[in-house]
Structure 1
Amino acid sequence: MLSNLLIENYALIDSLEVDLASGFTVITGETGAGKSILLGGLSLVLGKRADLNSLRNKDQKCIVEAYFLIKDYGLQPFFDANDLDYEETTIIRREILPSGKSRAFINDTPVKLDILSRLGDQLIDVHSQHQTMQLTENDFQFKLIDALATNKVRLSNYTNTLKSYSAVKKELNDLTEFQHNATKEQDYNTFLLTELEAAPLKEGILEELETQYEQLNNVELIKEELSKGDQLLNDDEIGVLSLMTEARSSLLKLAGFGTQYASLHERIQSVFIELDDVNTELQAFQEAVESDPGLLEEVNTKLQLLYNLQKKHGVSEISELIAIRNQLSDSLFETANVDQKIVLKTKELQELESSLEERGALLREKRNGVIPRLKKQLEADLSLLGMPSASFQISLNPTDSFKANGMDELSFLFTANKGSSYGVLKKVASGGELSRIMLVIKAILAKYEKLPTIMFDEIDTGVSGEISNRMADIMRDMSAEMQVFSITHLPQVASKGHHHFKVYKTEENEGTRTNMKKLVYDQRVIEIAQMLGGKELSDSAMAHAKELLN
C-alpha cells in the first residue's frame, strides 16, 4: 500500500507531500490542473525513464519519494535476491540531478533502474489506456484464467519442469554434436595421442637430454681437458698438490709459534682437503668418460622427436606437450563413453517430457473447468456496465509444443453486439469497451490473488449516469481487498471514494504551481457540485452532491 508520497521540483510541482490511506481514493481536478503530472512523478519511483525537461528549477535536483507498506506482498525473496534491506515500510526515492543524471534508492541502498522497475511492478498497477491493451495479449488472458483456476502452484511445477527439460535437451544436443565431431576426428586424435605417449614426456627431460647429448658429442675434448687438469694437480715437480703439501708442511712447523700461524695452517689444510677431493672426482670422471656412438645416436633421436613434436603442435615447452597429451586422452575417453551418456540423457529427457505432458494436461483441465464461469461472470458484469449484448467465446486448443505457460493455445474472442461476428479483442472492441472489460477483469482478479495498489487513470472516460455509478461500485468493492485510486471527471465516481483529493493550480509571481489537498466533507460537496453543474453553484447541484455523498 502506498502510504506517503513526496514530490519536489517536478514540472509544475514545487513541493508536494500527501499521506494516503487504504480503501478507495478518488482524485479530481479541472483539465490541465496537473493530474497527469502527479502520475508522471509517481512513475519515476516505479522505474520509468527520467527527463531533464521535467525539472521545475533547472538548477536544483528533483526528488520523488514514496513510502510503501509491503508486509502482505511476500516480497522478502525479492529483497534477498537483490541484496536489499527488507523493511515492512519500504522507502523508494528517485533523484534527477541538474546534470541530467538519475539516481534511485530502495531503503537508502542505490539500485539500478531495472531493479526499481521490477519492484515497482509489484507495488502499483497504474491502469491507463496503454495498459488496457494488455487485455488483448495472450499472456494476460492466461493469467486471468489461471488465477480463477488457482493454478499458481501447478504452473510453477510446470515451469520448473520445463526449465529442467530445456537444460537436459541442450545437454543432449551438445553431446550429439560432440559425438558427431569426435567421430570425424577420432582416428587422427588417436594417432596424435599414440605419438605423444611414445615420446619420453616428463618435466625437465629436454634439458636433461640436451646436456647428455653435449657430453657424448664432446667426449674427446672432455677427456683431453680432464687429463690436463689431472697433470696440473699431480705432476711431481709443478703439480699443485705437491706444492700444497710442501706449503702445508712449512706452516705446520710454525703452528707452535702462535695462534696466527696455527690459523694459517688450518686454512691451508682445509684448502688441501678440498683440492684433494677435487682430484679424486676428476680421476673418477677420467675413468668414466667413454665414447658411446650408440648412446649418442639414441639421445639425438629422442631430442629430434621432442623438437619435431614441439614444432608440430606449435609449442615451446614440454609441459605444453604433456597438457596436449592429457587433453587428447580425456577427449578420447569422453568419445568412448559418449554413447552411454546419450542413452542416459535421452531417457532423462523422455521422463521429463512425460512429466511435462501430465502437468500440461492438468493445467488444461483446471483451465477448462473455470472458463464457463469466467465467461458468465464477464458477461454479467459488462451487462451492468451498459454492455448487455457483450459475449465471449473462450476456448483452449491443445498443442504438442511445450510453451512457457503450458501446452495450450488460447482463443479469447469477443463481440459487443448481438448477432455480430466474434473477433479478437484488439480488432473488435473499442477503447471504451476495453476499459470496461479490463475493469471487471481487475475486479475478478482482486478476489483471487493479492494485487498491488491499483490506480485507474480516467478509466470512466466516455461513460455517465448509471454506468458510471456501477463502475464506481466495482472500484469501491475492489478496495476491500486492495488500495484503489481513481483519477476521475465523474461526480458519481468521486462521491464513492473513502478519501477525496483535489489537484489544482495556483498562479503566483513565481509562476504556475500544481498543488494537491485532501477534501473534508463540505469541500467534497462543493467539488462534486461543481463537477455536476460548473463553477456557479446552484441549490440543485449542491443538493444532488449531498445526495451522492450520502
Structure 2
Amino acid sequence: MLINLSIKNYALIDSLNVTFTSGFTTITGETGAGKSILLGGLSLVLGKRADMSSLKDKANRCIIEAVFDIKNYNLESFFEKYDLEYDPNTIIRREIHPGGKSRAFVNDSPLTLDILTKLGKRLIDIHSQHQTLQLTEHDYQLKMLDAFADNTKLLDSYTRKLHTYKTSVRELDELTEFQKNANKEYDYNTFLLDELDAVFLEDGLQENLEETYQQLNNVELILENLSKGNYLLNDENRGIISMLSELKQVSAQLSATGNKFEDLRERIDSVFIEIKDIAEEMQTLQESVEPDPAKLEEISNRLKVLYDLQRKHDVSSVSELLEVKENIAAKVGATQNLEEEIETKRNLLLKLKKDLDEDANLLTSKRADAIPEIKEKLEISLHSLGLPNATFKIEIIPTEDYKSNGRDTLSFLFSANKGSDYNTLKKVASGGELSRIMLVIKSILARYEQLPTLMFDEIDSGVSGEISNRMGDIMHDMSKYMQVFSITHLPQIASKGDHHFKVFKTDKDHSTLTQVRELLADERVFELAEMLGGKNLSDSALAHARELLN
C-alpha cells in the first residue's frame, strides 16, 4: 500500500508531499493541471527511465520518494534474493542528477533499474491504455484464469518439475552427443591403452632398464676393470692383500712392544678384513659378468618402446606415462558405462515426465472447471457496464508442448453484440470495451489473489454517466481487498472515493506549479459541482453533487 509520495523538482512540481491511506482514492483536476505529472513521478520510483527533461530546475537534482506498507505482500524472499534490506515500511527513492545520471535506492540500499522495475510491478499496478492491451495477450488471459482457478501452488509445482525435466533432457542430450564422439574415439583409446599395458609400466622401470642396458653395453670394459682390480688385489708379489699381510705382521710386532701401538694394529686389521671382502666381491662380480647380446637387444628394444611412447604422449617419464594411461583408461571406462548411464537417465526422464504430466493434466482440468463460472461473472458484470449482449467463448486446448505455464492454449473469444461472430479481443473489442473488460477482470481477481495497489488512469474515458456510476461502485468494492486509486474526469466516479485529491496549478514568481491536496467534505461538493456544470456553480449542480456524495 502506498503511504506517502514526495516529489521535488520534477516537471511543474517544485515540492510536493502527499499522504495516502487504504480504501478507494479518487484524483481529479482540470485538463492540463498535472495529473499525468503526478503519475509520471510515481512511475519513476517504480522503475521508469528518466531523462533531463524531468528536471524542473536543470541546475538541481530531482528527488522522488515513496513509502510503501508491504507487510502483507510476501516480499521477504524478493529482498533476500537481491540482497536488499527488508522493512515492512519500505522507502524507495529515485534521484535524477543535472548531468543526467539516475540513481535508485530501496531502504537506502542502491539497486539497478531492472530490479527496481521488478519490485515496482509487485507494489503498484498502473492500469493504463498500454496495460489494457495486455488483456489481448494469451499469457495474461491464462494467468487470469489460473488466479480464478486457484492454481498458484499447482503452477509452482509444475514449474519446479518442468525445470528439473528440462535439465534432465539437456543432460541426456549431452550424454548422447558425448557417446557419439566417444564411440568414435573408443577404438583408438583402447589401442592406446593396450599399447601402454604391453610395456608393464611401473615406477622405477626406466631407471632399471637404463642401468641394465649400461652394464650389458659396456660388459668388456667392466670385465677388463674387474680383472685388473683382482690382479691389483691378489697378485702374490705386489698385490694389495699380500702387502697388507706383511703390514699386518709389522703392526702385530709393534703392538707386542707396547699398548700405544694396539690401536694402530686394530685399524690395520680392520682395513685388511675390508680389502679381503672387496677382493671376494670383485671375484664374484667378475665370475657373474658375461656378454649377453640377446638380452642387450631385448633391453634396447624395451627402452626404444618406452622412449617412443614418451614422445608420442609428449611426456618425459614413466610416472607421467602412468598418468596418461590412467586418463585413457578412464575414458575407455566412461565410454563402456555410457550406455548404462544413458539408460538410467532415460528411465528417470520417463518418471519425471509422468509427474510433470500429472500436474499439467490437473492444470488443464482445473482451468476447464473454472471457465463456466468466470465466463458467467464476466458477462454479468459487463452487462451492468453497458454491454448487455457481451458474451465470451472460452476454451482450453491441450497441446503436447511443455510451456512455462502448462500444456494448454487458451481460446478467449469475445462478441459484443447479438449476431456478431466471436473473435479475439484484439480484433473485435474497442478501446472502451477493453477498459471495461479489464476492470471487470481486476475486480474478479481481487477476490482470488493478492493484487498490489491498483491505479486506474482515466479508465472512464468515453463512458456515460450511468455506466461510470457502476464503474465507480466496482472500484469501490475492489478497495475492500486492496488500495485503489482512480484518476478520473467523471464526478460519478470521483464521488465514490473514500478520499478525494485535487491536482491544480498555481502561479508563483513568474512560474506555474502543480500542487495536490486532499479535499474536505465541503470542498468535494464544490469540486463535483464544477465537474458537473463548469465554473459557474448552479444550485442544481451543487444539489446533484451532494446527492452523488450521499
Q: Place the TM-score, normalised by the shorter chain, in its bin.
A: 0.7 to 0.9
Read off the aligned partner of 1:163 and give its amino acid letter.
H
**8 Å Cα contact 1:460-1:468 kept in structure 2:** yes
When residues 301 and 516 of structure 1 are mapped into structure 2, their CA distance, relative to the original with a 3 A threshold, is farther
What residue number does 1:274 align with? Answer: none
Q: Counterpart of 1:129 in structure 2: which amino acid?
A: Q
Q: 1:288 to 1:63 in 2, by over 3 A?
A: farther
**Pair 1:530 & 2:526 matched:** no
Matched letter for residue 540 of structure 1: S
Structure 2 distance, partners of 1:433, 1:153, is 32
Q: Distance in 2 between matches of 1:353 and 1:119?
A: 34
Q: How many residues align?
A: 520
The question of 1:53 aligning with 2:31 is answered no
How far apart, in 1, do the equivalents of 2:14 and 2:496 lie?
Answer: 30
Mapping 1:501-540, distance limit 5 Å: 501-509=501-509, 511-540=511-540
Determine helix, strand or coil for the equivalent of 1:77: helix
Alignment partner of 2:105: what SS? strand
CA distance, structure 1, for counterparts of residue 394 and residue 119 of structure 2: 32
Identify unmatched segments of 5+ residues in structure 1. Answer: 230-235, 237-276
Does 2:359 match 1:359?
yes
The letter for the 2-side match of 1:509 is D
1:470 and 2:506 are equivalent in the alignment: no
Could you tell me how far apart the structure 2 residues matched to 1:530 and 1:225 are?
A: 130
- Amino acid of the residue matched to residue 362 of structure 1? L
What is the DSSP-based 3-state SS (H/G/I as helix, E as strand, rest coil) of the residue aligned with 1:548? helix
Alignment of 1:368-407 (within 5 A): 368-407=368-407
- Residue 299 of structure 1, CA deviation: 6.0
CA distance in 2, matches of 1:126, 1:443: 14
Equivalent residue runs for 1:46-445 within 5 Å: 46-199=46-199, 301=301, 303-314=303-314, 321-445=321-445
CA deviation vs aligned residue, 1:344-401 (integer Å, no higher than 9, x gap): 2222212222222222222222111111111111111111111111110001122222
Question: TM-score, normalised to structure 2's length?
Answer: 0.83
- Tell me, yes or no, if the aligned pair for 1:464 and 1:490 is still in contact at 8 Å: no
Q: Is the 8 A contact 1:454 1:484 kept in 2?
A: yes
Offset of 1:302 from its aligned partner?
A: 5.1
Deviation at 1:510, TM superposition (A): 5.5
Aligned partner of 1:245 in structure 2 is none
Specify the code of the residue in structure 1 equivalent to 2:469. N
Offset of 1:434 from its aligned partner?
0.5
Secondary structure of the structure 2 residue equivalent to 1:71: coil
CA distance in 1, matches of 2:103, 2:204: 59
The one-letter code of the counterpart of 1:413 is L
Counterpart Cα distance in 1 of 2:32 and 2:315: 76
Change in Cα spacing, 1:532 to 1:330, as seen in structure 2 (3 Å) is same
Cα distance, 1:515–1:206 mapped onto 2, change above 3 Å: farther
Q: CA deviation at 1:536?
A: 2.2
Larger Rg: 2
In structure 2, C-alpha distance between the alignment counterparts of 1:15 and 1:85, rounded to whole Å: 28
The answer to whether the 8 A contact 2:28-2:501 is kept is yes
Rounded to whole Å, the distance in 2 between the matches of 1:529 and 1:144 is 38
Corresponding position of 2:22: 22
| 2:26–2:487 contact (8 Å) kept in structure 1 | yes
The 1-side partners of 2:210 and 2:10 are apart by 80
Instruction: State the Cα distance separating 1:42 from its structure 2 match.
Output: 1.4
Report the alpha carbon displacement of residue 402 of structure 1 after superposing the two structures with TM: 2.1
- SS of the residue 2:25 aligns to: strand
Q: Report the Cα distance in structure 2 between the residues aligned to 1:94 and 1:207, rounded to whole angstroms.
A: 75
What's the CA shift string for 1:146-173, capped at 9, x where partnerless? Answer: 1121111222222222222212222222
Deviations 1:13-40 (A, max 9, x none): 2222111110011111122222222222
Q: Structure 1 pair 186/12, CA: closer, same or farther in 2 (3 Å)? A: same
Q: Match of 2:150, as an amino acid?
A: T
Kept after mapping to 2: 8 A contact 1:200/1:302: no
Distance in 1, Cα, partners of 2:110 & 2:103: 7
Letter of the aligned partner of 2:475 in structure 1? M
Aligned 8 A contact 2:62 2:96 in 1: yes
CA distance in 2, matches of 1:305, 1:426: 79
> Once structures 1 and 2 are overlaid, which stretch shifts more, 120-129 or 349-358?
349-358
Distance in 2 separating the partners of 1:112 and 1:532: 45
Change (3 A) 1:340 1:7: same
Please name the residue that 1:448 is paired with. Answer: 448
Q: Secondary structure at the match of 1:86?
A: coil
Which amino acid in the other structure matches residue 492 of structure 2? Q
- 1:350 is paired with a residue whose SS is helix
Q: Could you report, residue by residue, the CA deviation over 1:300-326 in whole angstroms, capped at 9, with x for unpaired residues?
A: 545544443344345567666444433
| Cα offset, 1:419, TM superposition | 0.5
Whether contact under 8 Å (1:202, 1:318) holds in the other structure is yes
Tell me: CA distance 1:197–1:444, structure 2 relative to 1, closer, same or farther (3 Å): same
Percentage of matched positions with identical amino acids? 60
What is the one-letter code of the residue matched to 2:546? K
Relative to the length of structure 1, the TM-score reads 0.83
Q: Give yes or no for contact 2:226–2:285 (8 Å, CA) kept in 1.
A: no
Q: Distance in 2 between matches of 1:288 and 1:138?
A: 96
Contact 1:168 1:345 in 2 (8 A): yes
Tell me the distance in 2 between the aligned counterparts of 1:161 and 1:224.
84
After TM superposition, the structure 1 stretch with the greater mean CA deviation from structure 2, 311-320 or 391-400, is 311-320
What CA deviation, in whole Å up to 9, does each residue of 1:328-350 have, x standing for no partner?
22222122122222222222212
